[in-house]
A and B are shown apart, each in its own frame.
Chain A
């Protein structure tokens, strides 16, 4: 195996267990099963302790031994360590004793959890000698690849469905990336990119770099544990597109337990989807371990993956942890966005509305008991999906620059609120 592989040992097929060298490859040649990085946990255990972690800079790379790079990372050194916010006001509204928001709406530099995976993928791509990086994206990944490639001096091609939110398109163009709009939905973009990746020798972060890329998501779980005071949360609610993030949150908790960084503890991971694209939650609710692909139709475009690559493993992770899945309509998604904004001052994108809406349902029906504690993983920023709530949150009331007009407005409001409270 590679002499210099950091703490990695090999790539291994999740289906059949065949092992492969640590190159830019993502599927098992035998059964097309996804390849996953295998680590040397004995060596990691000697190097990674609570004290060593706490002594390092507050970024995702403080867990470096568990992230798949051979050398020190070179891209995205400031990514991660986003706030874990104790959400008392939202907890009260949803009817749960304790609630936390893992707030990746303020991740650096592009305001979504994708900065975590891209930081790993591009660091590894540079190690493997690539100079052009690419991705298939529902928006956030494209933004992050474009920005991080710009700062790393890499050439970037990002492929997106043409019907994405304007904000997400602009947020890729601004960094000078080659933005290719595909006339189709994400699953079609994905299919095309799989074919392009086979033809062009680029580092496609979610195709041939996927084993490394996907591991970046684990940092969100490590941070949750550390920020809770080295405790695994009893319940975690995670939105699902391909289902990858949910499986990596489970893996992150399992790894910290395995390494003895936290005591063995029981935890449940719950998956959240939009009803308009819910292949995984539909299968989970029906008790199936496989899903049926769907054609997405939802305002939660960042979750609109009808053929989720990690759907099987997400279902397995929920089953293993005793978690559940639920989905919410477009109106419930908007309500979730507004609840999080009005109660906690956090403006999340549509995927965050999905997570809040599903948490609300799971708490209401007792799946997450009212006397328990839960963490909601909020993965992207609302400023990128303003189209989704535009026209649903009212308008400013306009007055002349006159104190009298303002006093009249306030008096009028007091009358209205008296009426409302009756």
Chain B
């Protein structure tokens, strides 16, 4: 069964303008690898040279920031909704 990843505007050029893509991965780390295999080039947008999620990239699983979960080890189950969102300013 699949999980949905919501793709933010700046990355849609890589996903043929798809807003939502399906993945089968069981952790966030695996999800990044799977996205890279489907949409080459997306990995380097999301993680830095050390493999850490870039500091201005926020990743959410069902609306919870993965930094409050298990970061890239965060497990994914069927039907989960993953959002990738740029950090935005205060208000």
Give A residues with C-beta under 8 Å from B. 15, 26-34, 114, 135-138, 140-142, 186-188, 190-191, 193-195, 197-199, 206-207, 210, 213-214, 241-245, 290, 292-293, 295, 305, 307-310, 312
Q: Nearest Cβ distance between residue A159 and chain B, in whole angstroms?
A: 9
Q: B13 near A: Cβ within 8 Å?
A: yes
Q: How far is the CA of A80 from the CA of B11 in the complex (A)?
A: 38
Using A15-B56, A292-B67, A312-B55 as known contacts, say yes or no to A32 and B89 having CB atoms under 8 A apart. Answer: no
A210's contact among B13, B19, B88, by CB below 8 Å, is which?
B88
Using A31-B45, A32-B54, A290-B55 as known contacts, say yes or no to A206 and B10 having CB atoms under 8 A apart. Answer: no
Q: B75 near A: Cβ within 8 Å?
A: no
**Inter-subunit contact A141/B88 (CB<8 Å):** no
Q: Mark B51-91, 1 if CB is under 8 A from A, else 0.
A: 00011111010010101100000000000000101111111
Q: How far is the CA of A194 from the CA of B60 in the complex (A)?
A: 13
A307's contact among B45, B63, B87, by CB below 8 Å, is which?
B87
Residues of A within 8 A of B88 (CB): 26, 136, 190, 193-194, 206-207, 210, 309
Closest residue of chain A to B10 (Cβ to Cβ) is: A29
Residues of A within 8 A of B54 (CB): 31-32
For the complex of A and B, 4 pairs with smallest distance between CB atoms: A242-B90, A141-B91, A309-B87, A137-B91
**Inter-subunit contact A27/B90 (CB<8 Å):** no
- Tally inter-chain residue pairs, CB-CB below 8 A: 99
Residues of B within 8 A of A206 (CB): 88-91
**Inter-subunit contact B45/A293 (CB<8 Å):** no
B89's contact among A15, A28, A244, A312, by CB below 8 Å, is which?
A244
**Inter-subunit contact B90/A244 (CB<8 Å):** yes
**Inter-subunit contact A32/B65 (CB<8 Å):** no
| 20 A-B pairs with C-beta separation under 8 A | A26-B88, A27-B86, A28-B10, A31-B45, A31-B54, A32-B45, A32-B54, A32-B56, A32-B86, A138-B91, A186-B91, A198-B19, A206-B89, A206-B91, A207-B89, A210-B88, A214-B89, A293-B68, A307-B87, A309-B87
Closest residue of chain A to B58 (Cβ to Cβ) is: A307
Q: How far is the CA of A195 from the CA of B68 in the complex (A)?
A: 20
Residues of B within 8 A of A198 (CB): 8-9, 19
Q: Which of B54, B87, B88 is most buried by chain A, counting CB atoms within 10 A of its CB?
A: B88
**Inter-subunit contact A29/B13 (CB<8 Å):** yes
**Inter-subunit contact A188/B87 (CB<8 Å):** no
